[in-house]
Amino acid sequence: MEERTFLQHYRICTRYDGSPDEVSRAGAATNYKATDTRSSEPVLLQLIPAESLHSTTLERVEARAAVAQKLDHVNIAKLFATGTEHGYFVLASEYLQGDTADSWIVEHGPMMPDAVLHVALQVVRAVGAAAFYGLSHRALQPSNILIVPGQSPDGGWPLVKLLNFGLAGAELHSAAAETRAIAPAIAPQFASPEQLRNGEIDFRSEMYSLGATLCFLLTGAVPLGPNATAAYLSHLRRFPRPLRTLLSHMLRENPDERPQDPVVFEKEIRNSLAQVERRQALGRKLGVPLAGVIRRRPRGPLSPLGQVWRGIVVVALLVMAAAAVGAWLFPNEIRLWHRSGEIGVPVGVPDSSQLAVVQPANTVPPPPGPTQPPAAPAPPPIHRVLRGASECGGESRR
């Protein structure tokens, strides 16, 4: 490559050996790290050979990329400029540091349920903003979601940016073969059923792709087609119900049964996120591990001693259960407990009702003595005094 400066202000960076600093390739586009000569800020420069495009197709793509340039959203990589120069169709966009979602999962493992919902919320907002301009993202998958440093607009983690809207999003729901050829290809496991049949791509199709992406972030795997969706969702029982409900809604085979409105679905995600966050906060407060927080490890076979102990415990439980059932069916023959009326009767002490008080027949009254003053009345029981104080002044403590 002889030319290094494009669209007047963007110069491709070079490596230590003088070669262009190539970042990645996506479809027909080659991505380079470049510098804006006006601000010295890094940018991402995407180059597509113009000779590989028909003149009519090139004009259409330029017009659609110009529409994508109007997008200004916190969760979309900003497109600064587009044009044709030096034999290339050029797109200059925001240069971002971070890891794509698929790379992050490979390195760190599945995400927590609340983090997955934070990703869903941001992506739905991004595609909803693009839908206002008639743009759709035909390659909504983990490789086009970038996890960048910082917090999401709602204060959660992670903060994500949707990539490649300049090409994949500039298709205006078009099914033209030329446009699909230059757009980043979507992996079949993330494509909606209608997309696999080359049908219309709209918000409903994007929600299917997003649902498959969320499954990948949650478990590291995706449903292999609509026929396997029900079986896949049955393995998500350890995760919060609101999240499972969302995924079931997004992965319907019929597009009419999926989310239709970005605003309505965003509200549904926010409600589910609030429920999951409350659940996780309660679990942390009580110190109780919740499903989806502590991942279970597969258990190996029990040792012979462990099998013996397990057998003893099972037999003991069966004996206790049988004794309880027998005592309930035959209370007179099998007594495991006393009746409530017999509790507290002293053993070996005769009943006071059976003792007769015998007075002597010839009882001589005591000799008269000095007159004694009448005895003072006995004080009321303590419990009555306390009760009186509680009812009057409320000073006593029960």
Within-domain flag for 241: yes
Residue 160 covered by a domain = yes
Asked, for residue 84, whether it belongs to a domain, the answer is yes
Q: What is the b/e burial string over 347-381, where b = at least 16 CB atoms within 10 angstroms of the residue's CB? A: eeeeeeeeeeeeeeeeeeeeeeeeeeeeeeeeeee
Tally of domains in the chain: 1
Provide the domain limits for residue 209: 5-286
Question: Does 294 fall in a domain?
Answer: no
Instruction: Look at the alpha carbons of 49, 54, 55, 58 in this order and tell me if their dihedral is positive or negative.
Output: negative
pLDDT tens-digit series, residues 342-386: 444 444 444 544 444 444 445 455 555 555 555 555 555 544 444
> Is the pLDDT higher at 231 or at 142?
142
Backbone angles phi, psi at 42, to 5 degrees: -75, 145
Residue 77 domain-assigned (yes or no): yes
* CA distances to 166, 294, 301 from 111, in Å: 28, 12, 29
What are the tens digits of pLDDT across the range 7-28? 999 999 999 999 999 998 876 7
In whole angstroms, give the CA distance from residue 195 to residue 205: 7
* pLDDT mean over 64-69: 85
Instruction: Give the pLDDT score at 290.
Output: 55
Percent of the chain with pLDDT over 70: 73
Contacts of 370 (CB under 8 A, 6+ apart): none
| Strand, helix or coil for residue 142 | helix
Nearest to 26 by CA among 147, 225, 163: 163
CA–CA separation, 154 and 348 (whole Å): 76
DSSP-based three-state secondary structure for 42: strand
Per-residue model confidence as pLDDT tens digits over 287-344:
765 554 434 333 455 667 777 777 888 788 888 887 777 777 766 665 555 544 444 4
Q: Give tens-digit pLDDT for 97-150.
A: 999 999 999 999 999 999 999 999 999 999 999 999 988 888 999 999 999 999
CATH for 208: 1.10.510.10
Encoding tokens for residue 284? 């942390």
Candidates 161, 207, 166, 202; CA nearest to 184 is 166
CA 76 to chain centre: 22
Q: Is residue 398 part of a domain?
A: no
Q: Is residue 261 part of a domain?
A: yes
Asked if residue 302 is part of any domain, the answer here is no
Q: Residue 52: what pLDDT?
A: 72
Pairing of strands 159-162, 99-100: unpaired
pTM of the model: 0.69
User: What's 25's DSSP letter?
Assistant: E
